[in-house]
Structure 1
Amino acid sequence: MHEEMPLPMNYALLVMGAPYSQQAAHSALRFAMALPARGHRVGTVFFYHDGVYNASRLMTPPRDEPHLLERWCELHDQQQTQLLVCVASGLRRGLLDQREAQRHEREAHTLEAPFELTGLGQLIEAGLTHDRLLTFAP
């Protein structure tokens, strides 16, 4: 009997946990990295509430811990994943891209590329345009 291969799925992830204080970000990243082996991919990751800290260019974990910022950037490179950061949550927590830093007269930006500040509309769009939207919360 012939077993049918499942159709490739395009996932969106909502990450609401800070990178090192909860398991949510690490679990989301491990899930995302495992998808290609099963023929799937992550098209979008949306970081919300304390999850926006995953995009901080100032993150410097000890060498014996996984560097989650670098791993998110690898995900972007390997799967062309959009890394979207809620602008309201980010600004409240000091995460600004270059444009927002200038607009708010700050000396430096703290958001690492390829992460992008965006609004909640992008999360809604991801839910409508991807096969599945999974939430990783603390």
Structure 2
Amino acid sequence: MKFAIALHAPAHSPAARRALRFAEAALAGGHEIMRLFFYQDGVHSASSTVVSPQDELDTARQWREFVAQHQLDAVVCIAAALRRGELNTEEAQRYQRSAASIDAPWALSGLGQLHEAIQQCDRLICFGGH
């Protein structure tokens, strides 16, 4: 089965951990992940500047390692990211900001990437949100 996964919740939330565990189980079960799409507060899971307390899981780091290890197509919604101060180098320069917080393996793009993934997959699975 081909999945698209959308995460709407921040890195420290139970929804972010459940999404990661689901993605791991899907790949372990022989399924394909067409695209991971991080939207709303889910964009914080792609941030390289999130620091988790020592007694908590570092879900943002786990997401980064998982995406890199499996070479997954991981897209961060550009509008949601900009609104929350999460920028890659290109956007930091464009908006004259001093720092970037999103880098490889993440890609900033628009909702069209989510729409395309929905059209190409068998199931869209969403975690978090309102």
TM-score when scaled to structure 1? 0.86
Tell me which residue corresponds to 2:9. 17
Which of the residues 100, 111, 120 maps onto 1:109? 100
8 Å Cα contact 2:81-2:87 kept in structure 1: yes
Number of aligned residue pairs: 129
Segments of structure 1 that go 5 or more residues without pairing to the other structure are 1-8
Tell me which residue corresponds to 2:37. 46
Which structure is larger by alpha-carbon Rg, 1 or 2? 1
In structure 2, distance between residues paired with 1:36 and 1:122: 21
Tell me which residue corresponds to 1:35. 26
Instruction: Compute the displacement of 1:49 (Å).
Output: 0.7
Which of the residues 68, 74, 77 maps onto 2:65? 74
The DSSP-based 3-state class of the residue aligned with 1:62 is coil
Instruction: Compute the displacement of 1:72 (Å).
Output: 1.2
Tell me which residue corresponds to 2:86. 95
In structure 2, distance between residues paired with 1:101 and 1:133: 31
Identity of aligned residues (%): 43
In structure 1, distance between residues paired with 2:75 and 2:127: 15
Q: Which one-letter code corresponds to 2:11 in the other structure? A: P
Tell me which residue corresponds to 1:3. none
8 Å Cα contact 2:46-2:64 kept in structure 1: no
Which of the residues 46, 49, 52 maps onto 1:55? 46
In structure 2, distance between residues paired with 1:77 and 1:105: 28
Segments of structure 2 that go 5 or more residues without pairing to the other structure are none
The DSSP-based 3-state class of the residue aligned with 2:74 is strand
Q: Any idea what the Cα deviations from partners look like across 1:68-107, whole Å, max 9, x if unmatched? A: 1221122213332111111111000001110000000111
8 Å Cα contact 1:32-1:41 kept in structure 2: no
Instruction: Compute the displacement of 1:29 (Å).
Output: 0.3
8 Å Cα contact 2:11-2:42 kept in structure 1: yes
In structure 2, distance between residues paired with 1:65 and 1:16: 20
